[in-house]
């Protein structure tokens, strides 16, 4: 089991670091409560005006998933994966030297699949062998980042953590990349 997690971590790190050369963005290691990298991408501020960030966390269950989530500086990090789960010693933060290439595109769970051929969605992780996109929703005056289930055509809900609960949204924004240097690597599935 440890070997599979090591291989999965290496594979994800390799893919995401390789993407930096072509996509102008990458994921960097982040330690909750630690220093936020200077090039971390912030999708906005919380209700108190403090910046929040996009993270991805490893969630262990019968197999390991990597899911996108909200990072609040100086707070523990949790992910939404069949309930609220704490990060399991693997937290990364989305960084970019070219944040102007990111765009939030408004969509909904029914129509998301209609946009996949015309936009480059940022992949935020993998769950049950399926890619996850990064979603953003305004919930009770606060911004929440979460996973969008890309493989659920016609019912691609966004799941996010809010005050110790896993919630979902049918209408949300999805993070896209609009730079010219796009290299997309596709895999049928990642190892279990």
* Phi, then psi, of 20 in degrees rounded to 5: -55, -40
pLDDT digits (tens, 9 = 90+) for 16-64: 444 444 558 899 999 988 899 999 999 999 888 999 999 999 987 756 7
In a domain, 13, yes or no: yes
pTM over 0.75: yes
Query: Residue 22: which H helix or E strand, with range?
Result: helix 2-23
In a domain, 182, yes or no: no
Which domain, by its residues, includes 58?
A: 2-177
In a domain, 8, yes or no: yes
* DSSP notation for 28-89: EE--TTSPPPTTB---EE-TTS-EEEEEEEEEESSSEEEEEEEE-TTS--EEESSSEEE--S
In a domain, 42, yes or no: yes
3-class DSSP assignment, residue 188? coil
55-70 burial: b if 16+ Cβ within 10 Å, else e: bbbbbeeebbbbbbbb
In a domain, 183, yes or no: no
In a domain, 63, yes or no: yes
* Tens of pLDDT, residue by residue, the chain (192 residues): 555 554 555 455 545 444 444 558 899 999 988 899 999 999 999 888 999 999 999 987 756 789 999 999 988 898 888 888 888 778 999 999 999 999 999 998 988 888 877 788 999 999 888 899 999 999 988 999 999 988 788 889 999 999 889 999 999 999 999 876 544 443 333 444
Query: CA 152, 94, 19, 82: dihedral to nearest 10 degrees?
Result: -30
Q: Based on the structure, what is the number of domains in the chain? A: 1
């Amino acid at each position: 089991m440890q070997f599979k997690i090591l291989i999965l971590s290496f594979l994800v790190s390799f893919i995401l670091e390789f993407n930096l050369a072509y996509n102008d963005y990458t994921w960097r290691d982040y330690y909750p409560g630690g220093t936020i990298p200077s090039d971390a991408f912030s999708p906005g501020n919380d209700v108190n005006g403090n910046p929040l960030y996009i993270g991805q966390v490893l969630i262990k269950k019968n197999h390991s998933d990597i899911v996108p989530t909200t990072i609040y500086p100086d707070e523990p990090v949790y992910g939404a994966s069949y309930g609220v789960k704490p990060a399991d010693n693997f937290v990364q933060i989305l960084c970019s030297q070219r944040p102007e290439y990111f765009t939030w595109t408004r969509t909904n769970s029914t129509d998301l699949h209609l946009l996949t051929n015309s936009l480059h969605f940022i992949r935020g992780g993998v769950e049950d062998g399926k890619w996850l996109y990064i979603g953003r929703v305004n919930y009770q005056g606060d911004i929440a980042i979460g996973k969008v289930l890309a493989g659920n055509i016609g019912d691609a809900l966004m799941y996010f953590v809010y005050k110790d609960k896993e919630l979902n949204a049918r209408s949300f924004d999805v993070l896209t990349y609009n730079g010219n240097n796009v290299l997309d690597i596709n895999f049928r599935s990642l190892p279990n």
